[in-house]
Chains A and B, each alone.
Chain A
Amino acid sequence: MTAPILFFAVGNESRGDDALAPLLVRGLNGWSKAEGLAKRLELLEDYQLQVEHITDLVGRDAVLFIDADFSCTEPYDFSEIFAAKDESYTSHAVNPAALLHAYRRVYGADSPPAFLLRIRGHDFGLGDPLSERAAANLDHATRLAVELCKSASLDYWRGLTKG
């Protein structure tokens, strides 16, 4: 059975602060099981988003994408996102809004409601540890993620977004 809530972390733990999102969901893993949330919440991670990840969105009530970000405000930015055609030239990766757009194109229906948690990172060098500032941001972001886990209400989630 598909868990109604999906947290999808994107990042490469060998790249300094790019590990923020994977570390967040790994931190939640034990906690969610202890809280009896395992059937309600699925935690996934990958190096980067790709088109086939639309298949992971099927049957969800809500999706949270989590990613490190070079430029967002400290400690994080949390927002609801919507399908958007990605006109940009990209590398092999796609952004979350473009993934929602691909979902609509492939399945002919809107994707589940989706949110994006961008955690501010600073250093992305190969082999670097998590920077101190990023570690502090991770603590803040984890507290938000725990709040989100506690309620599946979209209104509650939207109330936590900025703007």
Chain B
Amino acid sequence: MTNPTNDLETAAHPEGLRRVAIDPVSRVEGHGKVTLLLDENDRVHQVRLHIVEFRGFEKFVQGRPYWEAPVMVQRLCGICPVSHHIAASKAMDMIVGATLTPTAEKVRRLMHYGQILQSHALHFFHLSSPDLLFGFDSDVARRNIAGIAAAYPEIAKQGVLLRKFGQEAIRITAGKRIHGTGSIPGGVNKNVSAEERDYLLKDIGQVMAWSREAVGIARRLFEQNLDLYNNFARFDAHTLNLVRADGALDLYHGGLRARDLSGNTLFDHYDYRHYWDVIFEDVKPWSYMKFPFLRSLGPDQGWYRVGPLTRVTQCDFIPTPLAEQARKEFLAFNGGSAARATLGFHWARMIEMLHAAETMEELLHDSDLQGADLVSSGKRQARGVGVIEAPRGTLIHHYKVDEHDQIVRCNLIVSTTHNNQAMNEAIRSVARQYIDGRKLTEGLLNHIEVAIRAFDPCLSCATHALGKMPLQVELLDAAAERIDVLARASDGTFCAD
């Protein structure tokens, strides 16, 4: 079994082709750029998603004492700092030789599922809903958060309050709204008081109800646009995800499972502390972001997809009743078509949001959250690996610590990096379906962005300084001379240079 060919990655004869760049990709976290090479007949010869910014964070943490890592790595990303906080903490658990107490693990789980809930809510209600509710070709002036708030005020409000609830769970478990210190090597530094528990329980029923409604919205989008949703940006991929020992969906801990295009298991319950034996990272000269692959299949064929769509379709079951029912309906929908569709990411993401809400409710009724046994330790180790399923997919933190307690090596494989090749495949599929042979329009280019946004990529840029986010489409000749440019102004209108 082989992955689809990587055609459209590199043009056979790039000379003389026109280059179109979508720079930066909008409504994704950080800065990305898509380039297309077109000939004089608008036929597409090359499509690439470039990551513009070089993260450099792995160097940044070298030389720091290991106990600082769970706090420092939160600065990696303004959107999912908690995921890095927890993954680094898990790695440091290994360093200090700890086996977590029940209270420590459950407090961390509450924090993590709060992060899942708020991140998924943001993505669905505010980043993707403009495309999904108005259409990919709709008026660009409506296709934004404000447009949603105007046309669907209740949905916008639910998105705000779901996200706020997740943030409150994070504040309570991490100790602060940002720069949380709740998770530490070997455990946590605070429990959840009865008062804090009751504060979250007060709203959990509403959060569950809204999450169920969101699953329904995602389903209706498929039902109303079956052909589009089934086929948009479609491609087949190997998969990688964590599963619990019994095969259940578990976003905090488990073993690695990889499956091929036909669903055959390549490895299962693999101990992630030795992930490098099954996953390797390739580099390509045209992108800063690495291209991970399954070692057994090699760099060309071994790329894979991670994230909500993979997790929901590749786990054996979801261990909360409402989300499990939703998963079964998702898998059964139209003969399983949604589970194979790139836009199935959105539906799967809402099933996970419902699962997060259910899990949080279970945890809030667990008296271990009020326990006093917070930290453990054991035999000191030199190497620590922490893996979780973050909102966007599998997240790997790997550290080596010397005898002076300093971090001497760090390797991070973030969810978006796992999906690097998969995102490239998705946009090449769109290019073949919608762009090849046609005159470019903003609506057509937005199709590419819709495909990227389905993955909810986080391209690592917590810098947000004002005045930085224009969208520019450049047309260059073969000598890379700019011959035309189209810019999206801050008011959403397009203007020529």
Contacts and interface: CB of A to CB of B under 8 A. Distances in A.
A67 B471 CA distance: 22
User: Size band of the B side of the interface?
Assistant: 35 or more
Interface in A58-112: 67-72, 85-95, 98, 101-102, 105-106
A118 B464 CA distance: 13
B149 A52 contact: no
A148 interface: no
B466 A69 contact: yes
Interface stretch (B150-158, B314-322, B423-431, B432-440): B150-158
Contacts of B146: 85-87, 98, 101-102, 105
B60 to A, nearest CB: 5
B466 A88 contact: no
Interface in A29-75: 44-52, 54-55, 67-72
Contacts of B177: 44, 46
A14 B29 contact: no
Given A98-B146, A106-B149, A88 B164 contact: no
Given A90-B27, A91-B469, A12 B462 contact: yes
Contacts of A136: none
A115 interface: no
A127 B54 CA distance: 12
Nearest to B466: A69
A11 B81 CA distance: 14
Interface in A109-140: 118, 121, 124, 126-127
A21 to B, nearest CB: 10
B127 A92 contact: yes
The interface centre, meaning the residue of B29, B140, B461, B488 with most chain A CB atoms within 10 A of its CB, is B461
Interface string B114-129: 0000100010001100
Contact of B153 (A67, A71, A106, A124): A106
Given A44-B177, A47-B78, A87-B492, A52 B160 contact: yes
A51 to B, nearest CB: 5
A91 B160 contact: no
Contacts of B141: 87
A118 B56 CA distance: 27
B60 A90 contact: no
A89 B371 CA distance: 46
B160 A51 contact: yes
A97 B422 CA distance: 36
B274 interface: no
Interface of B: 24, 26-30, 55-57, 60, 72, 75, 78-79, 81, 118, 122, 126-127, 140-141, 144-146, 149-150, 153, 156-157, 159-161, 163-164, 167, 177-178, 461-469, 471, 488-493
